[in-house]
Structure 1
Amino acid sequence: MRYVESRKNLSGSALGLVGLVLTFTGVAGAYWPLVVAGLYGVGALIAPPERPAPPDFPDPSAQLGELRADFEKLRGYLADVELPPAASGRLTELTELLAALLDPGWAAEVLAQDPEGVHMLSRAVRQDVPEAVDTFVRTRWWSRLAPGQEPPERHLERQLGLLHDEAARLAAAVRETEARRQETHTRYLEDRSQ
């Protein structure tokens, strides 16, 4: 069935029909089967090759949907981890900001148009936050065996602060995009009214 719909078959069939027209008009004569088959073959040979279909990647809104599901898994993991109060507060601020960015609505629509922003969120949810917390939990256990070194809580607080700053920059970029869109629409309406 795939060959029947191919470009080679369609162009060969078109030239084969020309051969039949030549046969009915008397031009092909007694060699009409060779003329029809030959024209079909020529049409099949000169047809452009089939082009493979481009890969079907999920659209950004589907990626955000998957990321929301992963974020819920991350929240479940974080609920089971015991953190010091300062780190817990920073983590709460970070997860609230990530939740606001991933919340379905206008922010997610704007974010879906920014592949770098989606990548940053994906990296934060799937890699950076879990690794920071997991590393803290493992390091905290080892620091009990070797006291006197820099406490792992400080590293965790710094890491969460850096991740929060990165997410805040993304939120500011989303807000700026919407502000520019509003300004553009205002200018459009002003130009239209003149």
Structure 2
Amino acid sequence: MGMLVATSVIVVHLVAGLGVFWPLVTVAGYGAGVLLTPSRPAPAIKRAPRVELEQPGRLRQRVRDQRRVLVKNQAPDFVSNSLAALEAALERVLDNWDYLVDFPEHQVTVRSMIRDYIPSLVQAYLAIPDRDNARAVRDVTGSFDLLRGEADSIYEATIRNSLNRLEDHNRILHMQFGRLPLEGDGGDGGGVDKHAPGAK
């Protein structure tokens, strides 16, 4: 609207002449047009819904529920035991969940295993009329074993990371204080502490 008013003023000046003050009239017209134009409301910003990530307690319950589904549907013991072994492997990982804070990709993997892969395997297996079929049993237990191997790998990575951190702390202590008091000469505890009073 402001540009429209200012343009109109310029056109009028060119046709009829507004005198030496035509620039001021143009600016005033532009300002009036801006003030009289209703402001458009700012578009509402849509915020993505917050996704609540399930914590270890809820993840444990999901695995237990799936094993109960197998038992309730009278799956062969071999299948139930295979899922129980996977559950035990996941329990070790969930018990050390806080150590995976620095490795969110492992947490994503574990959540996917529990929320997606295990339920899909259970439902696909239960959809088979003959649950004692050797091929069906072999396929579902093989899949459970594959997931268990991945869970074991994540747990071992957690242990390695913890040991590496302990080793780093030990190295820092050695650099800071030299030989630690637990280090004796020959292991007999008879060594002289160089920090002791009177030691040379």
Letter in 1 for 2:165: R
Helix, strand or coil at the partner of 2:127: helix
The share of aligned pairs that are identical, in percent, is 23
Letter in 1 for 2:161: T
Q: Is the 8 A contact 1:110 1:174 kept in 2?
A: yes
| Partner Cα distance (2:100, 2:156) in 1 | 11
Unmatched runs of 5 consecutive residues or more in structure 1:
1-52
- After TM superposition, the structure 1 = structure 2 runs for residues 6-21 of structure 1, keeping only pairs within 5 Å, are none
Q: Is the 8 A contact 1:64 1:112 kept in 2?
A: no
Match of 2:77 in 1: 85
Match of 2:143 in 1: 159
Answer yes or no: is 1:133 the counterpart of 2:122. Answer: yes
Alpha-carbon deviation of 1:142? 6.0
The alignment of Structure 1 onto Structure 2 pairs a total of residues equal to 133
Q: Is the 8 A contact 2:90 2:151 kept in 1?
A: yes
Letter in 2 for 1:133: V
| Partner Cα distance (1:84, 1:77) in 2 | 12
Provide Cα deviations, 1:62-94, integer angstroms capped at 9, x if missing partner: 644553454454455455343222222221110
| Partner Cα distance (2:83, 2:73) in 1 | 11
Output the aligned Cα RMSD: 3.0
Q: TM-score, normalised by structure 2?
A: 0.56
| Pair 93,191 (structure 1): closer, same or farther in 2 beyond 3 Å | same
| Partner Cα distance (1:56, 1:191) in 2 | 46
- After TM superposition, the structure 1 = structure 2 runs for residues 30-179 of structure 1, keeping only pairs within 5 Å, are 63-64=55-56, 66-68=58-60, 70-71=62-63, 73-103=65-95, 107-139=96-128, 141=129, 151-179=135-163
Which 4+ residue blocks in structure 1 deviate beyond 6 angstroms?
53-57
Larger of the two Rg values belongs to structure:
2
Answer yes or no: is 1:191 the counterpart of 2:175. Answer: yes
| Pair 90,66 (structure 1): closer, same or farther in 2 beyond 3 Å | closer
Unmatched runs of 5 consecutive residues or more in structure 2:
1-46, 179-200
| Partner Cα distance (1:86, 1:112) in 2 | 35
Q: TM-score, normalised by structure 1?
A: 0.57
Larger helix proportion, structure 1 or 2? 1
**Greater mean deviation of Cα atoms: 183-192 or 70-79:** 70-79
Helix, strand or coil at the partner of 1:113: coil
